[in-house]
Structure 1
């Protein structure tokens, strides 16, 4: 099955590395113009250079997704550069805490909720008017398998990802008749710098992370990128309000 895209411009937040970078490259490989955004300017520019190195068209725009003015400015920059927005992958997020609920603190809670929830809400708030002006489009938000059930010792992170799925489903219903599709991708453990920070310092935790997936390994960033592109493409025109687990069978247990 070949992917079928009718639009021209895709935005990837959290595009400096990992899943965001892989997805930005995948969009570019399909011929789309890509806006890469992140608080990590060096990483974001690096993603753009990788795209341009293969003949693609990409632009980096710095943005802290927790700041309304910066998200609004990001949308203005997209219009200035390309005149339209067709697809958005709201991927910016921060990592899990490591501890039981009662051991958490307010600073940690506010940081996780600020990026993972407020950031997704602000992005959709400002993306939807652009998509309405285009007569439709698609948004994919990064949730997690932690948003599909319990996640011991990372309750704040899990709550943030449950919230992302709630935002996704609600927006999908609100804008379905306006031809805007909104879905979420729910990765399990993926081989990213975030994973390595959390697990590789303790090899036993890394082994456990692999074993928790029935396929016997952690996921690859390219596998999440493939899922995101499917949810955006015209072949998924009847899919909206869905939280797609890409998890090596972890949620099937």
Structure 2
């Protein structure tokens, strides 16, 4: 079996592509031969070969329009869209701590960028009769943490439902839509959280990781996923090797979510 993903020359957009999972997706696609536009609010230094950075705030409709135009200008078209953008700044305290403004922020970060970017770029995919859209959701859409992630989890659940509906609409037009739902991933932000929890509890980093894993009900694999592991799954799903896969959700969580 060949491990060539047949992505040489493919044109891809990765939102949130300078940190965490997004940065690893950019790297994986670029290594596979794709030409990639990566978005972020602020872009890093010079890009590597085959990567173009576009500065845009995707929490606004205007920012999404800027990113879509920059993508088409840089690549001359689009074959793959990977929406990795997401996160949460909501305060702890359960439902009572979530104001209308907090709810709006979570939706504007975790749902609407995907909706707006898809709306802007899908017409080009439909015109050529092919394309792949991958939405990075989260296991929290089925396993929320009420103390701190209710709004984030609800926004990701909305993204999951939107993804399924979109897949049914555009599959007959040659477009595949797939969800990837990570559990806890050991990004720089996750490391910082574990270190903060460890300091608060008077333990080390491994102890901080254990606190997070316990909050999730345990990770049977015994560790979080690594960003590149998630990225490699996404690269495969974006490739012709996964040409019959659409409308599906791929969970990568080390066994965190229990199944019947």
Q: Common fold, TM-score beyond 0.5? A: yes
Contact 1:10–1:35, Cα closer than 8 Å, also in 2: yes
In the other structure, the counterpart of 1:226 is 232
Deviations 1:207-228 (A, max 9, x none): 1324521000111000110111
In the other structure, the counterpart of 1:35 is 37
Contact 1:199–1:206, Cα closer than 8 Å, also in 2: yes
Counterparts of 1:50-129 in structure 2, within 5 Å, are: 52=48, 56-95=49-88, 97=90, 98-129=92-123
Question: Which consecutive residues of structure 2, in runs of 5 or more, have no partner in the other structure?
Answer: 199-206
In the other structure, the counterpart of 1:241 is 247
In the other structure, the counterpart of 1:133 is 127
In the other structure, the counterpart of 2:201 is none
In the other structure, the counterpart of 1:190 is 185
In the other structure, the counterpart of 2:150 is 155
Q: Which has the higher helix share?
A: 1
Query: Secondary structure in 2 aligned to 1:251?
Result: coil
Deviates more, 1:112-121 or 1:208-217: 208-217
Counterpart of 2:194 (choices 171, 190, 199) is 199
Counterpart of 1:23 (choices 25, 28, 44) is 25
Root-mean-square deviation (CA), in Å? Answer: 1.8
**CA shift for structure 1 position 252:** 2.9
Query: Structure 1 residues 244 and 176, CA, compared in 2 at 3 Å: closer, same or farther?
Result: same
**CA shift for structure 1 position 78:** 1.9
Q: What is the rounded CA distance, in whole Å, between the counterparts of 1:176 and 1:7 in structure 2? A: 23
**CA shift for structure 1 position 6:** 6.9
Deviations 1:156-196 (A, max 9, x none): 11101101101110110000111101111101011113313
Query: Secondary structure in 2 aligned to 1:16?
Result: coil
Question: Which consecutive residues of structure 1, in runs of 5 or more, have no partner in the other structure?
Answer: none
Contact 1:7–1:86, Cα closer than 8 Å, also in 2: no
In the other structure, the counterpart of 2:137 is 143
Q: What is the rounded CA distance, in whole Å, between the counterparts of 1:129 and 1:24 in structure 2? A: 23
Q: What is the rounded CA distance, in whole Å, between the counterparts of 1:131 and 1:141 in structure 2? A: 16
Return the TM-score normalized by structure 1: 0.90
How many positions carry a matched residue from both structures?
A: 244
**CA shift for structure 1 position 96:** 5.8
Query: Secondary structure in 1 aligned to 2:13?
Result: strand
Return the TM-score normalized by structure 2: 0.87
Contact 2:24–2:228, Cα closer than 8 Å, also in 1: yes
Counterpart of 1:170 (choices 153, 165, 168) is 165
Q: What is the rounded CA distance, in whole Å, between the counterparts of 1:202 and 1:73 in structure 2? A: 38
